[in-house]
Amino acid sequence: MKVWLACLLFAGAALGSATAWSDEGMWPLQLLHGVEPSSEWLTRVRAASARLANCSATFVSADGLLLTNQHCVRNCLAERSSRRVNLVSAGYLASARDREASCSSQVADVLLDTQEVTSAIEAATRNLDARAANAARKKTLTDLEHTCHEQSRTTDPDAQIRCEGVALYSGGQYYIYRYRRYTDLRLVFAPELAIAAFGGDPDNFQYPRWDLDVALLRAYDERGAPAHTPGFLRLNFNGPKAGERVYVVGNPGATFRNLTVAQLLEMRDVELPHAILRDSELRGRLIEFGRIRPANAQIAQTTLLSLENTLKVRRYELDALHDTERFDRLRREESDLRARFASLSRAGHVTADPWEQIARAQESNRQLALPHLYIEGGAGFESLLFNYARTLVRAADERPKPNDERLREYTDGALLRIEQTLRADVPVYAELEELTLSFSLARMREFLGPDNPLVQPLLAKDSPDSLARKLIGDTNLDKVAFRMKLWNGGAAAVNASHDPMIELARDVDPAARALRQRYEDEVEAPVQMASEQIARARFAASGTTVYPDANFTLRLNAGSVQGWRENDLPVIPFTRFRGLYARASGYDPFVLPTLWQHARGFVNPDTPMDISTSNDIVGGNSGSALLDAQGDIVGVIFDGNSHSIAGAFWYNPTDNRAVAVDTAALLEALRVVYGAGTLLTELGAPPG
Amino acid sequence: MKVWLACLLFAGAALGSATAWSDEGMWPLQLLHGVEPSSEWLTRVRAASARLANCSATFVSADGLLLTNQHCVRNCLAERSSRRVNLVSAGYLASARDREASCSSQVADVLLDTQEVTSAIEAATRNLDARAANAARKKTLTDLEHTCHEQSRTTDPDAQIRCEGVALYSGGQYYIYRYRRYTDLRLVFAPELAIAAFGGDPDNFQYPRWDLDVALLRAYDERGAPAHTPGFLRLNFNGPKAGERVYVVGNPGATFRNLTVAQLLEMRDVELPHAILRDSELRGRLIEFGRIRPANAQIAQTTLLSLENTLKVRRYELDALHDTERFDRLRREESDLRARFASLSRAGHVTADPWEQIARAQESNRQLALPHLYIEGGAGFESLLFNYARTLVRAADERPKPNDERLREYTDGALLRIEQTLRADVPVYAELEELTLSFSLARMREFLGPDNPLVQPLLAKDSPDSLARKLIGDTNLDKVAFRMKLWNGGAAAVNASHDPMIELARDVDPAARALRQRYEDEVEAPVQMASEQIARARFAASGTTVYPDANFTLRLNAGSVQGWRENDLPVIPFTRFRGLYARASGYDPFVLPTLWQHARGFVNPDTPMDISTSNDIVGGNSGSALLDAQGDIVGVIFDGNSHSIAGAFWYNPTDNRAVAVDTAALLEALRVVYGAGTLLTELGAPPG
């Protein structure tokens, strides 16, 4: 039966013709066969596409130049800033190659190939109960990743290769994705925050908007030379036309379109309300932190920007889940699939009802969610320095174990990335660390209760504030040398350490691991097993329209440049420089950078700035190239309209719109505002 | 038919015998006949019960002494504080009568009698459509209040009388409640915050707890002498026994037990999530405001305490509404009542489906809720000084109109209270005003959008922060004399004013009034008319078990001293001084006041401190007396357990518990900790 299902899947996934494309769907490239972007087109696009730590990017020159969003390189700008210099606000333009600024915690992964391993996972988990299957699944993926690494080392000993186990269709298929990884990324260009995010939080996710949210990084190879990337994609500086067919290639982060109703209710009634409550309070703390002392505003800037973005997403997700009409439709679809499954089941093919298993697991989840979030998830200890401590303590415990018996995030394939993160010399601001740690300790006490067995001793002789102050004040984990000493010293060094943050992480670890184990056994394991069964039922039912939920792996989507109707009024799919100048009030966040104020009489006011398209995207797609039919870049995705956030759960073609920076805006800005002639030459821009 | 319904109601409301009492129900005293507290008992208790601006209280001496909670007099303590002196934290004990400290914005209302006016309202609204009926209902209530005032003036020209139109059963009955109002309240005793709210926000709504949340005020009459209150209730300093029958008399604020499912969904999916988001952010801002500069913590203290209480209530209310089992039961009950209504309707008695009308009104509400909240509700302008401005601007417009054509809050009966509020010399802290105003302007821009026609001009040349700073910095409304000049000068003075806050309130008022009118016409009017119909259907269906939703009018409830089971473990209904000392960690909010630390060896550790009872109470009941069968006071209600918050929607006898301070704790504290001999004598305490 497995083989039959697999055959059906492939028949389904292979789109028959170009007419099969709809705007909906984020397709893994390996599942596209015979549709209008040819396989040559797909191969070329894949080779030029990169996944950053948190975003997408595209090679745009033979010397490793990567095009992405300003908001995707904000961490790098913050890393290169200090209390005196604020590159996030000021922007950056490297005057020469040797002035390109290192982004020490960034990576770029280029997908080389994918290998399906579903049958290996099935063989390893067959006839096991849910918990044992969950353990076997992880162990098998670790072993497969290891084999992939070993094989790659033989063929290309210089290049860093990253092999990653990937579940598509919630476990309907398993793959090993093999990436070429670059860890030496350098900042070439980022515009000022005031133009990259003009309109700030008020305009975020609110098209029409006027933003130049673009940036350029350069990948360097292991010898410190610019990466050799002859397969880069060209920029078409004319941008797209209204109605033109456009493609988005990138790494959408997560969608929840195949979750069960029970899982969506859990998100709606438990997870999202709690997350919004936390995010809102932290937002208030960060805003006030910066309002009282302006110097603090800079310290908290990137944290606040990213928090406000997350909060807006969660708010709109919650609104979407309160759309009763849509939700009722999901209920009906689930009922239909469930009935179909039940009839197959009666025919003797399958047994337990996976929807019921998932619903039961949600009940366990309701018990475990908050302790798991605060203690294992780290929401009770929000601080960069605690994260270092947790990593060092866990790594000390895990590294001596056989590779396939470790927690998945400490297997051999992950260690280089951990070391990169520990070694990255990012600035640590004690005041900000104290704020987030004090906040999270206070909320942990509130939500687990002052008498919780972990909380009580922690705060028996301290307030959240005094404890945070002591921990942040006394730890040495802000120093790279100290972190590397513990990393290199392994378990002996970590266990002998009297650093208070290390001690805290050590004290918390038994409770955290116990919660993780309970969560994996009581929630993850039954959900995973049931999800695999549902995926198979969906393959059987849905035929050719099946695409897997997004999971931050490479996907292609086809759409077109178009607006929509908002409150019965048309929204046109282009904004222009003229509108930017009209909207600028001179008051935050509607204030233009000085260069843009000066350029007012020189730029062409008709230049298209931002575009709305019907492409089906979500967070993670930020920085994705918007491609025309030739595979040339005509825009850079950086946002969606407010309706696009419901895309986490369903795609609505009437109003879900992606938002991109038009390449014409990039050309005009680099040429007239920034005078970046060398860059324009490298980008193959027409002579100005 | 109306007469028949009224008869049925009275038959229903009259409880037949003592055995008819259940722990559930907040009964208006005038609807209790023939149950075990005799009518003499009820009359005596009513005469000794007072409603404060935000709480309940009871006369406990012949000289106007009122027993209530510390948290009910926090505003008074804050009013008597300054940047140097913090009475909220320090507490207060008047060394003599002439040191009793004036609470300039407090009131105490003693219910004199109630007069049913349902038939007058019915006559005034008969055959009108919903909008016209809504206007006629308000006009009639204003006229009835006016008549009541005029009559009272003849009989008792000295006493201030307050006549209030009251709807019970969502408009199933209407009354005029006549109160003796005291406006000269003075603070006699309040303990330190650290013992009144020991355990702070973490322990709030979390029984077992150990708090002395009590306070004593004294009412003074119009001649400045202590009020003559011979009908006071005695304190029984032994407190109650486990299992003892106990009564709560007080003013529960609001319950929603008779709302329709559509209204509850609106609360669950729209109102509560937004309120929690706002409250959480403001909490974060206030905490950080105090964390960065300790002097600020005092300025923000009472605002933060009350905000955190509200937030916890709203969080647990949201959790309650996510109890699908309970919610499904409500749905079934509604279906039953609706079916019954429909069959009556088919029999020709009634016509439109009121549940459907309410559901349709909720759709309008979803459109209007946020603009109404921010612009008319003032959530976009949160600041004491804006409130003054709004009041002065509105009063200037309203006072020249005939009494029954004014907005209800500006009728003759309300003017004295408005004047009292404007005249109260409460401290205004500009930093705090800026914080709340900046916050609320920012959120108004976020939720109505930067392009909203009211928001856009307001913030065209300002950020929320710069606008807040200008308004708070330049207004003179923090000065009593300035406010009184505008109040006494009326429309001419207000319209001529160039005070920037007055100008803002004037600019906003047309939009605010338009939204109010739309809200009243499209939401309030149809809901009110439909609610009256549903109330009648419920009277017809439910017979003797009907009690009206709480609305901050005087109610009696009977329960007993008892614990409950939490996670299968019994919670006993008493805490004792011993437990207080055991819980004190010395770290905020588990730190004891100095006097309590010193008293440790002297107090009796067995003294009962807090009690849990099965009484059905909600916010507004704070400060209510807990009475024994003799009508003696055995405790002071100040809290509930976490399950009690679901009491907003339903009463669950298995776990809903009220929490009171035991009178034995009050005696021991006044005698041993505070050495308050004179007070104890006035309270009739036994010799120590």
Listed range (A8-17, A353-362, B399-408) with the worst mean pLDDT: A8-17
Structural domain includes residue B135: no
Number of A:B CB contacts under 8 A?
A: 117
Query: Is B202 close to A449, i.e. CB distance below 8 A?
Result: yes
Q: Which of B285, B569, B583 to mutate to probe the A interface, most A CBs <10 Å?
A: B285
Going through B191-322 in order, the beta strands assigned E by DSSP cover: 215-220, 245-250
Residues A280, B277: C-beta atoms closer than 8 Å: yes
Measure CB to CB from residue B292 to each of A201, A289, A322 and give the nearest one.
Answer: A289
Of A283, A293, A450, the CB nearest to B202: A450
Most B CBs within 10 A among A207, A278, A280, hence the mutation to make, goes to: A280
Instruction: Report whether pLDDT(A17) > 60.
Output: no
Chain A residues within an 8 Å CB radius of B322: 269-270
Do A202 and B450 make contact, defined as CB atoms within 8 angstroms? yes
Same domain for B55 and B73, yes or no, is yes
Among B272, B280, B367, B370, the strongest candidate for a mutation testing the A interface, having the largest count of A CBs within 10 A, is B280
Does residue B243 belong to any structural domain of this protein? yes
Instruction: Kindly report the nearest CA distance between residue B349 and chain A, in angstroms.
Output: 34
Which residues of chain B are within 8 Å of residue A206 when distances are taken between CB atoms? 449
Confidence of residue B7 (pLDDT cuts 50, 70, 90): very low
Asked if B285's CB is within 8 angstroms of A449's CB, the reply is no
In SS3 terms, A545-563 reads as: HCCCCCCCCCEEEEEEECC
* Phi, psi dihedral angles at B292 (to 5 degrees): -75, -40
- B56 is in which domain, residue-wise? 2-107+183-256+548-682
Mean pLDDT of B569-574: 97
* Residue in A658, A564, A643, A659 with CA at minimum distance from that of residue A323: A643
- Is the residue at A554 inside a domain? yes
Flag whether pLDDT at A223 surpasses 90. yes
Q: How far apart are CA B463 and CA B484, in angstroms?
A: 31
Cβ distance B292 to A292 less than 8 Å, yes or no, reads yes
Does some domain include residue B246? yes
* Closest CA–CA distance from residue A260 to any residue of chain B (Å): 17
Count CB-CB contacts under 10 A for residue B401: 12
SS3 A631: coil
**Rg, C-alpha atoms of chain A:** 25
**Given a cut of 60, is residue B173 above it in pLDDT?**
yes
CA-to-CA dists, residue A516 to A375, A407, A442, A504, A525, angstroms: 9, 10, 22, 18, 12
Q: Tell whether A655 and A558 lie within a shared domain.
A: yes
Burial state string for A53-87 with b = 16 or more CB within 10 A and e = fewer than 16 = bbbbbbbbbebbbbbbbbbbbbbbbbbbbeeeebb
For the residues B416-435, what does the mean pLDDT come to?
Answer: 97
pLDDT one-digit tens code per residue, A379-415: 999 999 999 999 999 999 999 999 999 999 999 999 9
Chain A residues whose beta carbon lies within 8 Å of the beta carbon of residue B283: 281, 284
A-chain CB neighbours of B591 within 8 Å are: none
Is the same domain home to A246 and A218? yes
Q: Are A497 and A574 found together in one domain?
A: no
Alpha carbon distances (Å) from B371 to A80, A385, B443, B639? 43, 43, 11, 34
Omega into A202 within 30° of 0, i.e. cis?
Answer: no
Q: How far apart are CA B381 and CA B371, in angstroms?
A: 12
Of B516, B541, B566, which closes a domain? B541
At A459, list the tokens: 């705060």
pLDDT band at A8 (very low <50, low <70, confident <90, very high): very low
Residues A116-168: tens digit of each pLDDT: 999 999 999 999 999 999 999 999 999 999 999 999 988 777 889 999 999 99
Angle, helix B2-13 to helix B525-542, in steps of 10 degrees: 60
User: Phi, psi at residue A50, to the nearest 5°?
Assistant: -130, 150
Q: Which residue of B has its CA nearest to A367?
A: B567
Check CB contact under 8 Å for B587 and A461. yes
| pLDDT confidence of residue A24 | 85
What is the share, in percent, of chain B residues with pLDDT greater than 90?
Answer: 88
Residue A34's φ and ψ, nearest 5 degrees, are 75, 10
Q: How far is A601 from chain B (nearest CA, A)?
A: 22
Kindly report the number of other CB atoms within 10 A of residue A18's CB atom. 12
- Domain membership flag for residue A340: no
CA distance B15 to chain A (A): 40
Q: Is residue A332 part of a domain?
A: no
Q: Distances from the Cα of B489 to the Cαs of B418, B494, B658, in angstroms?
A: 15, 7, 48
Of B203, B315, B438, the CB nearest to A450: B203
In a domain, B173, yes or no: no
Task: For residue B622, give the amino acid letter.
Answer: S
Shortest distance between the Cα of B270 and any Cα of chain A, in A, equals: 9
CB contact under 8 A, A288 and B289: yes
pTM: 0.95
Whether residues B506 and B563 share a domain: the answer is no
In this structure, the answer to whether residues B657 and B630 fall within a common structural domain is yes
Q: Does the pLDDT value for residue A19 go beyond 60?
A: no
pLDDT value at A95 more than 60: yes
With CB atoms and an 8 Å threshold, state whether B285 touches A280.
no
What integer is the mean pLDDT of B103-130? Answer: 97
Calpha distance A380→A447 (Å, rounded): 10
Q: Which residues of B touch A318 (CB under 8 A)?
A: 273
In a domain, A283, yes or no: no
Q: How many domains does chain A have?
A: 2
Residue A1 confidence (pLDDT): 26
Q: Does the distance separating the beta carbons of B276 and A459 come in below 8 Å?
A: no
- Which residues in B lie closer than 8 A to residue A586 (C-beta atoms)? 461
Contact across the interface for B288 and A289, Cβ inside 8 Å: yes
Average confidence (pLDDT) over A444-458: 95
**A449 and A486 within one domain:** yes
- Residue of chain B whose Cα is closest to the Cα of A204: B446
Whole-angstrom distance, CA of residue B561 vs CA of residue B572: 10
Q: Which residue of A has its CA nearest to B265?
A: A322
A357 with A252, same domain: the answer is no
Name which of B105, B56, B131, B49 is nearest B419 in CA terms: B105
Nearest to A304 by CA among A167, A173, A204, A401: A204
A502 and A595 assigned to the same domain: no
> Residues A514-570: pLDDT tens digits?
999 999 999 999 999 999 999 998 888 876 568 999 999 999 999 999 999 999 999
Q: What percent of chain A stands above pLDDT 70?
A: 95
Domain boundary pick from A546, A572, A595: A546
Give the chain B residue nearest A296 (alpha carbons): B292
> Is B459–A285 a contact, with Cβ atoms under 8 angstroms apart?
no
Mind listing the pLDDT tens digit for each residue in A609-630? 999 999 999 999 999 999 999 9
Instruction: Choose among A281, A449, A463: nearest Cβ to B284.
Output: A281
Q: Is the pLDDT of residue B13 over 70?
A: no
In angstroms, rounded to a whole number, what is the distance separating the alpha carbons of residues A233 and A49?
9
What residue of A is the nearest CA neighbor of B272? A273
Give the Cα separation of A118 and A139 in Å (integer).
14
Taking contacts as CB-CB distances below 8 angstroms, the residues of chain A near B461 are 585-587
| Cα of B539 to nearest chain A Cα, Å | 32
Residue of A nearest to B208 (CA): A451
The torsion defined by the Cα of A312, A313, A319 and A322, in degrees rounded to 10, comes to: -150
Q: Is the same domain home to A455 and A556?
A: no
**A322 closest CB neighbour out of B269, B282, B589:** B269
Q: How many whole angstroms from its chain centre is CA B336?
A: 33
Same domain? For B521 and B658 the reply is no
pLDDT in tens, B34-48: 667 889 999 999 999
Return the beta strands (E) in A117-252 as ranges.
160-168, 173-182, 184-190, 215-220, 245-250
pLDDT greater than 70 at residue B643:
yes
* Record: contact A199-B588, CB cut-off 8 A: no
What distance, in Å, lies between the first and last C-alpha atoms of chain A?
63
Cβ neighbourhood burial of B649 (10 Å; 0-12, 13-18, 19+): buried
Residues B532 and B639 in one domain: no
Q: How far is B458 from chain A (nearest CA, A)?
A: 12
The pLDDT tens digits for B53-83 are: 999 999 999 999 999 999 999 999 999 999 9
Cα separation, A144 vs A203, in Å, equals: 45
| Mean pLDDT score across all residues of chain A | 93
Please list every residue in chain A whose beta carbon sits closer than 8 Å to the beta carbon of residue B199: 450
What sign does the CA torsion over A498, A502, A504, A509 have? negative
Structure confidence at residue B9 as a pLDDT band (50, 70, 90): very low
Rg, chain B, Cα only: 25
Residues of chain A contacting residue B201, judged by C-beta atoms under 8 Å apart: 446
pLDDT at residue B350, as a whole number: 57
Secondary structure in 3-state letters for A40-92: HHHHHHHHHEEEECCCEEEECCCCCEEEECHHHCHHHHHHCCCCCCCHHHHCE
Q: Are the C-beta atoms of A166 and A205 separated by less than 8 Å?
A: no
Q: What is the pLDDT of residues A184-216, one digit of tens each?
A: 999 999 999 999 999 999 999 999 999 999 999
> Rounded to whole angstroms, what are the CA distances from B248 to B42, B159, B637, B650?
12, 28, 8, 18
A22 has pLDDT over 60? yes
Q: Could you say which of A497, A517, A546 is where a domain stops?
A: A546
- Binary contact (A277, B281; C-beta < 8 A): no
Instruction: For residue B466, give how far its alpha carbon lies from the nearest alpha carbon of chain A (Å).
Output: 9
Amino acid identity, position A306 = S
CA distance A463 to B294: 15
- pLDDT for A18 beyond 70: no
Instruction: Tell me, letter by letter, the H, E, C secondary structure of B474-523.
Output: HCCCCCHHHHHHHHHHHHHHHHHCCCHHHHHHHHHHHHHHHHHHHHHHHH
The CATH code of the domain that includes A229 is 2.40.10.120
| More confident site: B32 or A179 | A179
